[in-house]
Amino acid sequence: MARDVKGKVVLITGSADGLGLAMVDNFLKNDAKLAIMLDFNEKKGLESVAAMKAKYGKDRAVFYTCNVVTDLEKIFDEVIKLGYIDVVINNAGILDEKNIKNTMNVNAIAVMEWTIKFFEYMRNDQGGNGGTIINISSIYGYRVTAHIPYYHGSKFAVMGFSKSIGHEYNYNRTGVRVVTLCPGLTKTNMANHPHVRDDTTFDDFAIELKTYEWQTADDIGRGMVETFQQADTGSVWLVEGGRPAEKINV
């Protein structure tokens, strides 16, 4: 059964540009009521929310400057004033092979903390209305390359965590659906400037990246909406090469 985007309030972290902004655009295009845009880049975020308001209406998008590692409680208290939040997308991420703690804090621990916070808020056995949380992993959350072990570790963590909290047992008790989306290689600032743990391997990694199917951020935005509409709780979905989102068994 396809789920309807229309009328939903959607919160997306890391949405000032790239994949997150494309998700905002596609949810609003499909008649979401409100997109709550969060990002640490205030200048870019204000520019992007202005563009979304101009395109879809001044009441359809709002932006908050946010560091997902430190600002959860502050942002939560603000955004719940906007109305019931139906969908949370944990999209914020980094590729920093020089700093394992930063990578894990942003890509994994923050995702877990934001998921649990909104899971408890949404659960219908404790006064919520249910809802959907979609966590962004990566093709590198289940495929392996030799060059970015910190990133791999963070995205494998997101995958395992999301499949566990999204288990049908938990959904049946709470009405909160948790899904994992794995984007393939996408033309974004992060992907265009990859950092490797060992600088002597950079050229080899660059050659490897050329063998992948690449896609645009808008392909991910469309795939995110498709995933929202189709995915069962605990499932993992892939968007790669610009093709429609598909469920994968990993």
CB neighbour burial string for 149-161, b if at least 16 within 10 angstroms, e if fewer: bbbbbbbbbbbeb
Q: Are 151 and 108 in contact (CB under 8 A)?
A: no
- Mapped onto helix, strand or coil, the DSSP state of residue 174 is helix
Rounded CA-CA distance 160/13 in Å is 20
| Start-to-end CA span in the chain (Å) | 23
Which homologous superfamily does the CATH classification assign to the domain defined by 9-240? NAD(P)-binding Rossmann-like Domain (3.40.50.720)
Per-residue pLDDT, 192: 52
DSSP 104-127: HIIIIIHHHHHHHHHHHHH-GGGT
pLDDT tens readout for residues 46-92: 999 999 999 999 999 999 999 999 999 999 999 999 999 999 999 99
Per-residue pLDDT, 202: 75
Is 0.85 topped by the overall pTM? yes
Question: Tokens representing 28?
Answer: 């609003």
Instruction: Report which residue type is found at 100.
Output: I
Q: Are 7 and 33 in contact (CB under 8 A)?
A: yes
**Positions in the chain whose pLDDT score sits under 50:** none
CA trace torsion 144, 145, 150, 151 (10° rounding): -70
Per-residue pLDDT, 121: 99
Q: Which residues are known catalytic residues?
A: 151
> Any idea how long the chain is?
250
Per-residue pLDDT, 72: 99
- Mapped onto helix, strand or coil, the DSSP state of residue 51 is helix
What are the sequence ranges of the domains in the chain? 9-240
Contacts of 177 (CB under 8 A, 6+ apart): 130, 131, 132, 133, 166, 171, 231, 232, 233
Per-residue pLDDT, 120: 99
Whole-number CA gyration radius for the chain:
17
Per-residue pLDDT, 189: 62
